[in-house]
Amino acid sequence: DVQLQASGGGLVQAGGSLSLSCAAIGFTFDDYAIGWFRRAPGKEREGVSCISSSDNIIYYKDSVEGRFTISSDNVKNTVTLQMNSLKPEDTAVYYCAALPRRHPCGRSYVNYWGQGTLVTVSS
């Protein structure tokens, strides 16, 4: 079975940092790219950052470029999203997902979703 286990959300003040982790079970990064998506209140789920580690391809949404860093550990089969300089507008439920390699970082391409983890940034 393919599973994605997300962890690491929480409450942080604006300007602070959080790290989200996604553990991939039942597949390797040769099979899928991994993405972090988020859904803010009243908004649609959007792609924040995706990594296709086998292809050395990384994508960031414009609004997080320079503040968020995605990385993969192919031994532990985990993907980490390090979020720095957090803003209130980053508040959302964050989901990790598996999608085909070399595809756009879009929710319509996702094959598997993990459970969400809430990130709340206070002003």
pLDDT digits (tens, 9 = 90+) for 53-99: 999 999 999 999 999 999 999 999 999 999 999 999 999 999 999 99
* pLDDT score for 30: 86
pLDDT at residue 117 above 90?
Answer: yes
**15-64 pLDDT tens trace:** 999 999 999 999 988 899 999 999 999 999 999 999 999 999 999 999 99
Q: 28: exposed, middle or buried (C-beta count within 10 Å: 0-12, 13-18, 19+)?
A: exposed
- Tokens 């980053």 appear where? 90
Return the amino acid letter for 32. Y
Query: In 3D, which of 72, 65, 92 has the Cα closest to residue 32?
Result: 72
On the question of pLDDT at 7 being above 90, the answer is yes
Q: Tokens representing 34?
A: 């991994």
Distance CA 54, CA 56 (A): 6
Q: What backbone torsions phi and psi does residue 103 show, to the nearest 5 degrees?
A: -110, 160
Instruction: Count the helices and strands in the chain (H runs, E runs).
Output: 0, 10
pLDDT at residue number 121? 98
